[in-house]
Each structure stands twice: as C-alpha cells, then as structure tokens.
Structure 1
Amino acid sequence: MCGRPIGHRVEWHHPVPKSRGGRETVPIHPICHRVIHRTLTNKELERGFATAEALRAQPELARFIAWVADKPPDFHAPTRRPKR
C-alpha cells in the first residue's frame, strides 16, 4: 500500500476481509495494517477498498502514506483511531 519495501516484520492483510468471504492475502507493514483497520470498517474494505490503489486514494490513508513514506521498512509507532 505505502510503496516502501517490506522489512523483517510482516503481517498478512485480507483485501476482502475474512469475515466477508475473503481468502487472498497480501504482505503489508504492521503499522500500515493497523492504520487500515483503524480507518476503515470491514464493510467499507469489502465494498470499495479491496485494492492498494483504492486504499491510497482514501484521504486519511493518503495522509498517513505521505507521512510514513520516508520511514524505514520496520518503522513502528502507536496508531490512533481517527475521530469520526
């Protein structure tokens, strides 16, 4: 999603959530994975954000990607739930 190389710490993301019938997984940085799930519900992921391109276009995720772009692959920081 963020375009950075994958580091030693890898998590596997279901573009279509398992709870919605998704089987495919893609490797992703742990911090990116947490931000996706704190920003979007499983229903939103299933309906309109099952691709990296769609995730990059989501405004809150786009801001996060711009911020994390120059961080090393294994960078980690606490993530917070956005105010809705």
Structure 2
Amino acid sequence: MASNLQCWLCERLLGRKVQHHHTVPKAKRGRETVPVHPICHRVIHAHFSNAELARIGGDRGALLAHEEVAKFLSWIATKPPDFHASVRRTKN
C-alpha cells in the first residue's frame, strides 16, 4: 500500500517501507522523527555522525548542502519509491 507522504530527505513519495529518522539522534535526547525511505535513512547515517546530526538538528538544508548527499539526491530523484540499493559510507 503506497503512502501519500513524502520523504523528508528526498521529497519523493514514500513507498511500502517507511523508516522514521530522529532529526536529533535518540542518543542525544532527540524525540522528533520524520518519515524517510530506508535508502535515504542509510545515506543520512553514512555521511553524518550522531554528534553532527545533533549539531545540525532538524536543519534539512544542512544535509542537502553536503556534496555526497546532493549527488545522491540527484541520482535517486527518478527512482521509484521502493527502490533499494547499497549505500557507501564516507564518514570517519
């Protein structure tokens, strides 16, 4: 069953599988969550540490400004909602 909601990161429609990303990690006392595709969730955590995400907070623009995330968003834009692929980690 497809959803009418959009992914917080890529803004594509969500598919059958939806994950909830804590904009500030739970480990850093974050409570707010936003719906994301599983692949988008993996990309966020592949490029940002929990400490970085805590500093960024819910600033989606800060994530979009990251060069690798921007490349990913350009690539994923035409993929279907339930598209799946491996994600490469680049953070230390």
Query: Is the pair's TM-score, using the shorter chain for normalization, greater than 0.5?
Result: yes
For the 8 Å contact 2:48–2:91, the answer to whether it is kept is no
Paired position in structure 1 for 2:19: 11
Structure 1 gaps, min length 5: none
Distance in 2, Cα, partners of 1:72 & 1:52: 22
**Equivalent residue of 1:32, what SS?**
helix
Identity %: 55
Asked which structure has the greater RCO (Cα within 8 Å, sep 6+), the reply is 1
Mapped partners of 1:29, 1:51: distance in 2? 18
Displacement of 1:34: 0.3
Residue 61 (structure 2) aligns with: 53
TM-score normalised over the length of structure 1: 0.91
Give the structure with the higher percent helix.
Answer: 1
What is the CA distance between 1:35 and its match in structure 2?
0.7
Query: What is the count of residue pairs matched by the alignment?
Result: 84
